[in-house]
């Protein structure tokens, strides 16, 4: 199978990151504000396969492989790591492309990056769409994941927990592909990443998200509590909450067309 062609740039702290730009908009139209897609932990650009064809028909789409994921470099162990560093990576990418503002779409941990970007640099975020993305993982079962991964490996771990991520009606071939893709990640980096996210909760910062925000919640969230999405919707001034009833955490993988449609409808409501 042919691999997608990726471009590369180097962040301010010297890490080489992979990214793509896809644009299938009508060439006689102009879109000054693109969509920036931020994938989940243990994910990569390729997980947007069902989103990009739909969204890129209406907006230029920027996607990346987050540091330590996909074709991007795994940072050395002695290089400081934080969620704020990931938000800076997103700013570095926008600066590299000469993009002043973007409509930011984040899936799970990608939404953590999007939230921090909107909090720290509101002038860079025209709108924010969050899919199965809470304000951190502190107090959730995720804190146990690194030890379990250390015992059985990443692929075996995600296969054992696939029921927390996908409903019973999902194509088994999708689940198998997902598990194999996730299994290509570096266990040490995943442990470092998840350990950090499991220590974070920025709920008190949510009122600082000033842009229009769409929160799409899985109706049956096994990672954390479903009520957090309602609290987020109350805390963020311009938020709207949508629930995918009965669906577990990985709504972006299980229902990509529906997710993309929610993004397009929301951006249309903003006149974007």
The total number of residues shown for the chain amounts to 272
Structural domain includes residue 118: yes
Model pLDDT, residue 132 = 95
Is residue 25 situated within a structural domain? yes
pLDDT tens profile 100-158: 999 999 999 999 999 999 999 999 999 999 999 999 988 787 788 888 888 899 999 99
Ranges of H-type helices in 77-170: 83-97, 109-120, 145-152, 154-160, 162-165
- pLDDT > 70? residue 160: yes
> Strands 16-22 and 7-10: what pairing?
antiparallel
Which residues is 118 bridged to in the sheet?
none
Q: Is residue 87 part of a domain?
A: yes
CA angle 233, 238, 239 (to 5 degrees): 30
- Best CA proximity match to 42, nearest among 153, 203, 172: 153
The pLDDT, as a whole number, for residue 169 is 84
Confidence of residue 84 (pLDDT cuts 50, 70, 90): very high
Q: What is the pLDDT of residue 270?
A: 87
Residue 91 lies in a domain: yes
Decide if 107 contacts 38 (C-beta within 8 A).
yes
User: What is the domain-level CATH number for residue 32?
Assistant: 3.40.50.1820
Range of the domain at 239: 7-135+203-269
Diameter of the chain by CA atoms? 55
**Closest to 22 in 3D by CA, of 9, 34, 32, 38:** 34
Which carries the bigger pLDDT value, residue 8 or residue 169?
8
pLDDT score, position 141? 79
Residue 140, in any domain of the structure: no
Number of domains in the chain: 1
> How far is Cα of residue 263 from the mean position of the Cα atoms in its chain?
14
Question: Global pTM?
Answer: 0.95
Average pLDDT over residues 2-28: 94
């Amino acid at each position: 199978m042919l691999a997608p062609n990726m471009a590369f740039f180097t962040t301010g702290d010297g890490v080489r990151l992979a990214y793509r730009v896809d644009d299938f908009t009508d060439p006689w139209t102009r879109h000054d504000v693109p969509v920036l897609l931020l994938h989940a932990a243990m994910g990569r650009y390729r997980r947007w396969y069902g989103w990009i064809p739909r969204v890129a028909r209406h907006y230029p789409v920027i996607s990346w492989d987050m540091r330590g994921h996909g074709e991007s470099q795994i940072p050395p162990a002695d290089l400081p790591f934080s969620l704020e560093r990931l938000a800076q990576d997103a700013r570095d990418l926008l600066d590299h492309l000469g993009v002043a503002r973007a409509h930011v779409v984040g899936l799970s941990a990608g939404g953590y990056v999007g939230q921090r970007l909107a909090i720290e640099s509101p002038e860079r975020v025209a709108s924010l769409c969050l899919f199965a993305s809470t304000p951190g993982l502190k107090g959730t079962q995720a804190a146990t994941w690194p030890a379990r991964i250390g015992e059985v490996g990443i692929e075996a771990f995600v296969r054992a927990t696939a029921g927390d991520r996908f409903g019973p009606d999902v194509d088994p071939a999708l689940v198998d592909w997902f598990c194999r893709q996730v299994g290509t990640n570096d266990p040490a980096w995943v442990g470092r990443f998840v350990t950090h996210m499991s220590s974070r909760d920025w709920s008190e910062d949510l009122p600082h998200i000033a842009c229009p925000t769409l929160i799409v919640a899985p109706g049956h969230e096994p990672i954390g509590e479903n009520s957090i999405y309602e609290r987020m919707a109350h805390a963020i001034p311009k938020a709207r909450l949508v629930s995918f009833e009965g669906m577990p955490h990985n709504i972006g993988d299980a229902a990509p067309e529906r997710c993309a449609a929610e993004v397009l409808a929301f951006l249309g409501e903003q006149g974007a």
